[in-house]
């Protein structure tokens, strides 16, 4: 096995040009390139924290590079696999991570003292031991936590924070067993229980004071005096991930057996060190890492604040600004749409903020619309320009800023809690009493698809309707969202996470 002996100034015995790319031979030593000049050791170490124990680090600041050694090759593989799908950023700059050809990192500790001190501090927290001599760490940061339960308060809550969002963020630091959410003194709060007090300590150290979304939803975290949570119901307010059989309570629909099975599977998955559960929030693992360095909002979804998307490979014979507004409006408030005059299979879409643009890109890139697989990327443009006054652009540009159909203008709207990827099952609401199941089946069949299943909710004001394919559901949503059903009822259509 190849080891690597280097000094802190980067005068190593082997050159770096031959480093393997991401698809090279796996190694627990990772080569990180294109680092910002002012980046710290803590920020680099934090990249690896969600994936396992970091055992060594070498900073090559003159070359804007670093080497990071993880405890196991498995943890390194998990980290590389994740960051190959989600580009990591430090200080709003993309960086690149690949396997090193070296299997072990041996540094000259006398010349690498700062990095080693930071690493020792992190190790002390990871193992809940007292810090080594010469390490400057506050006592509260390394004293073993007395409780595996965290008390979480959300400040500046511009966007609603769901139980699932909390689970996705905090599960990066260990198996989350139970969560209870509630409102106290007009503040949204939660109690969250880990399987191990050390996991609670790591999560508090990394996440306290960080933002879930850029510039809002700030986490304030303390240890609870409770050591065990008693969860009676599995619903949108509380959940016991070890007991998928619990009732929903409060007259809510019972938990779907398939969802209950998924909870049980997810709990077992989280018990595997370094495992990444399916993410409801983009970049959650990368965000958790960045959060430990205190640099960015948790999901890392602002993409530098760019609100404009470039959508390509559109069916130019079918697509209109209105159809793009309706589809992309599922994930944010679309301000403007511009189909490009000289390239009508492409369009620019301006969302209300960078979080919404990233959300739309994550969910809609690669989806099929009007028979073509669309591509959604961030645009280099910062705004969508309206045509000059008096210039006829054939209706290719439209301003939707004052549209009454925006789903997310109202702060605290429940629509924030019901954002899901495109699926064959649609959620219908605002249905008048006079409209029967057969009416809705016929209406949706007329969009050109096949209605496979239908189910009214108990009050008949809402329903689930399943099309044959996701593409058919997308088409139906575009055609029928805001459809006038009479009696001053306009149909609301969104994607559902449920199946019938």
pLDDT at 114: 67
What is residue 251's predicted lDDT score, i.e. its pLDDT? Answer: 45
- Residue written as tokens 């073509």? 372
Please tell me the CATH superfamily of domain 419-493, with its number. RRM (RNA recognition motif) domain (3.30.70.330)
**Under-50 pLDDT residues of the chain:** 1-23, 126-145, 251-304
Residue 124 has a pLDDT of 57
Give the pLDDT of residue 487.
85
pLDDT of residue 225: 87
Structure tokens at 391: 């210039």
All CATH 3.30.70.330 domain ranges in the chain, comma separated = 27-121, 147-238, 306-397, 419-493
Dig out the tokens for 459 from the structure.
């009050």
Three state DSSP letters for the chain: CCEEEECCCCCCCCCCCCCCCCCCCCCCEEEEECCCCCCCHHHHHHHHHHHCCEEEEEEEHHHCEEEEEECCHHHHHHHHHHHHHCCCEECCEECEEEECCCCEEEECCCCCHHHHHHHHHHHHHHHCCCCCCCCCCCHHHHCCCCCCEEEEEEECCCCCCCHHHHHHHHHHHCCEEEEEEEEECCEEEEEEEECCHHHHHHHHHHHCCCEEECCEEEEEEEECCCCCCCCCCCCCCEEECCCCCCCCCCCCCCCCHHHHHHHHHHHHHHCCCCCCCCCCCCCHHHHHHHHHCCCCCCCCCCHHHCCEEEEECCCCCCCCHHHHHHHHCCCCCEEEEEECCCCCCCEEEEECCHHHHHHHHHHHCCCEECCEECEEEECCCCCCCCCCCCCCCCCCEEECCCCCCCCCCCCCCHHHHHCCCCCCEEEEECCCCCCCHHHHHHHHHCCCCCEEEEEECCCCCCEEEEECCHHHHHHHHHHHCCCEEECCEECEEEECCCCC
- Which tens digits make up the pLDDT trace of 399-452? 999 999 999 887 667 777 778 889 999 999 999 999 999 999 999 999 999 999
Pick the CATH number of 306-397 from 3.40.50.9100, 3.30.70.330, 3.20.20.70, 3.40.50.300: 3.30.70.330
φ, ψ at 191 (rounded to 5°): -115, 130
Q: Cα–Cα distance between 375 and 355 in angstroms, integer?
A: 18
**Confidence (pLDDT) at 298:** 36
pTM tops 0.75, yes or no: no
Return d(Cα 473, Cα 330) in angstroms, integer: 13
- Tokens for 192? 């969250």
Q: What's domain 147-238's architecture?
A: 2-Layer Sandwich (3.30)
Q: Alpha-carbon distance 411 to 152, whole Å?
A: 21
Please state which of the four CATH numbers 3.40.50.620, 3.30.70.330, 3.40.50.300, 3.30.70.2190 is assigned to the domain occupying 27-121. 3.30.70.330
């Amino acid at each position: 096995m190849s080891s690597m002996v280097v000094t802190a100034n980067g005068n190593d015995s082997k050159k770096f040009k031959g480093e393997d790319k991401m698809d090279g031979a796996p190694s627990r030593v990772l080569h990180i390139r294109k680092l910002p000049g002012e980046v710290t050791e803590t920020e680099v170490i934090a990249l690896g924290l969600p994936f396992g124990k970091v055992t060594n680090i070498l900073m090559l600041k003159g070359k804007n590079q670093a080497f990071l050694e993880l405890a196991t090759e498995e943890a390194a593989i998990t980290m590389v696999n994740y960051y190959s799908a989600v580009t990591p950023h430090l200080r709003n700059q993309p960086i690149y991570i690949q396997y090193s050809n070296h299997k072990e990192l041996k540094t000259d500790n006398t010349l690498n003292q700062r990095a080693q001190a930071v690493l020792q501090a992190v190790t002390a927290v990871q193992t809940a031991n007292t810090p080594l001599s010469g390490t400057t760490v506050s006592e509260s940061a390394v004293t073993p936590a007395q409780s595996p339960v965290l008390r979480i308060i959300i400040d500046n809550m511009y966007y609603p924070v769901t139980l699932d969002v909390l689970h996705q963020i905090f599960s990066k630091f260990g198996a989350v067993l139970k969560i209870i959410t509630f409102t106290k003194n007009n503040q949204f709060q939660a109690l969250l229980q880990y399987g191990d007090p050390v996991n609670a300590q790591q999560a508090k150290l990394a996440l306290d004071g960080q933002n879930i979304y850029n510039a809002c939803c700030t986490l304030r975290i303390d240890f609870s005096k409770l050591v065990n949570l008693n969860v009676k119901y599995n619903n949108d307010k509380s959940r016991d991930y070890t007991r998928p059989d619990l009732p929903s309570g409060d007259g809510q629909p019972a938990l779907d057996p398939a969802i209950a099975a998924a909870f049980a599977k997810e709990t077992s998955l989280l018990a595997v060190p370094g495992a990444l559960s399916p993410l409801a929030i983009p970049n959650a693992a990368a965000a958790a890492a960045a959060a430990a360095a205190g640099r960015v909002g948790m999901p890392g979804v602002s993409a530098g604040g760019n609100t404009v998307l470039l959508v390509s490979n559109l069916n130019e014979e079918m697509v209109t600004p209105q159809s793009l507004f309706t589809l992309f409006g599922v994930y944010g408030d679309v301000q403007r749409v511009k189909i490009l005059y000289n390239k009508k299979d492409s369009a620019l879409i301006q969302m209300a903020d960078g979080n919404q643009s990233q959300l739309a890109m994550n969910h809609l890139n690669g989806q099929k619309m009007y028979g073509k697989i669309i591509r959604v990327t961030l645009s280099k443009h910062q705004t969508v320009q309206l045509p000059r006054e008096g210039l006829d652009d054939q209706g290719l540009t439209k301003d939707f800023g004052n549209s009454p159909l925006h789903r997310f203008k109202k702060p605290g709207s429940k629509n924030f809690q019901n954002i899901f990827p495109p699926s064959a099952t649609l959620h219908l609401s605002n249905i008048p009493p006079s409209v029967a199941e057969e009416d809705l089946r016929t209406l949706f069949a007329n969009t050109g698809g096949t209605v496979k299943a239908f189910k009214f909710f108990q009050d008949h004001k809402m329903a689930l309707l399943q099309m044959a394919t996701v593409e058919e559901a997308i088409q139906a949503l575009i055609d029928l969202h805001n459809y006038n059903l009479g009696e001053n009822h306009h149909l609301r259509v969104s994607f559902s996470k449920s199946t019938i």
